Amino acid sequence: MCHLHLQYQRLHQQQCSHLHPQGKVPLCDSNNKNTGSITDYFRENEDIVLCSSKDDVLNKIQYYLDNPEERERIAENGRNIVYQHFTYKAVAERTMGFIKKHYSDNKEN
């Protein structure tokens, strides 16, 4: 069973990476300053649900409660993104790549 998780105030990538494997669909404030980093990985209405107002939140909650297949699809898509980009191994590989690039760029100067 997939659940909706209302995090209208603040949500960032780390929180998404914990919610999706639990089968939850995050509902996020599209006006939040952290939304940009979330949408670098998660696609709106494909992997995550973005809301622009309190009325939008209420409408989307009702929509996804009435459409469990759609809710399940988004949860599964988000789970796949998390397993692709946010495992310890994936994060460590990105971090090491950044360090190597930064170190080699500074070495040339």
pLDDT in tens, 59-94: 999 999 999 999 999 989 988 888 888 788 988 898
pTM of the model: 0.68
Contact (Cβ atoms closer than 8 angstroms) between residue 50 and residue 16: no
pLDDT of residue 9: 41
Contact (Cβ atoms closer than 8 angstroms) between residue 81 and residue 42: yes
DSSP 8-state code for residue 32? S
pLDDT of residue 12: 46
In angstroms, the CA 85 to CA 17 distance is 9
What are the residue boundaries of the structural domains of the chain, listed by start? 3-108
Cα-Cα-Cα-Cα dihedral sign, residues 80, 81, 82, 84? positive
The Cα angle at residue 6 between residues 9 and 41, in degrees rounded to 5 = 80
Query: What is the pLDDT averaged over residues 9-32?
Result: 61
Going by pLDDT thresholds of 50, 70 and 90, the confidence category of residue 18 is: low
Q: Does position 27 have pLDDT exceeding 80, yes or no?
A: no
Contact (Cβ atoms closer than 8 angstroms) between residue 49 and residue 60: yes
